[in-house]
């Protein structure tokens, strides 16, 4: 049986890992074995942090909505505002509400006014 050299395939797979590790410190970007470990760990972090990013953005939106509500009426909390939106039947998600609170305060103020009218009634 003849000998099979896997030079091309091995070189290609190693190059793929080394290219993924470009910019890493020291041998992590040059040595295949350590680069493999570094790239695997980086992929684990990337997978975990895709979930974390969603969490962080939701928290940011809530903080911005709360700040926008309190700028209009200091007694209006985020929780009471969201409850009033539910009672009123206004279905706007937190991302849009946060964007309105930051970039278009008059439109956000109109939504807050409708929510406060629902709370008063």
Full set of structural domains in the chain with CATH: 8-120 (1.10.1900.20)
Question: Which DSSP letter does residue 22 get?
Answer: T
pTM higher than 0.85, yes or no? no
The confidence band for 45, taking pLDDT boundaries of 50, 70 and 90, is: very high
pLDDT over 90 for what percent of the chain? 91
The confidence band for 13, taking pLDDT boundaries of 50, 70 and 90, is: very high
CA geometry: angle 79, 80, 85, nearest 5 deg: 100
Whole-angstrom CA distances from 103 to 33, 35, 76, 91, 111 are 49, 44, 20, 19, 14
Q: What average pLDDT does this structure show over 87-108? A: 95
Q: What average pLDDT does this structure show over 35-58? A: 97
């Amino acid at each position: 049986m003849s000998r099979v050299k896997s030079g091309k395939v091995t070189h290609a797979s190693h190059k793929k890992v080394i290219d993924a590790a470009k910019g890493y410190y020291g041998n992590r970007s040059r040595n295949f074995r350590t680069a493999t470990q570094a790239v695997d760990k980086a992929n684990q972090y990337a997978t975990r942090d895709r979930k974390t990013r969603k969490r962080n953005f939701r928290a940011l939106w809530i903080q911005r909505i709360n700040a926008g509500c309190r700028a209009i009426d200091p007694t209006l909390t985020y929780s009471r505002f969201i409850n009033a939106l539910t009672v009123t039947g206004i279905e706007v998600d937190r991302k849009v509400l946060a964007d309105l609170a930051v970039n278009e305060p008059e439109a956000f103020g109109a939504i807050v006014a409708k929510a406060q009218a629902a709370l008063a009634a």
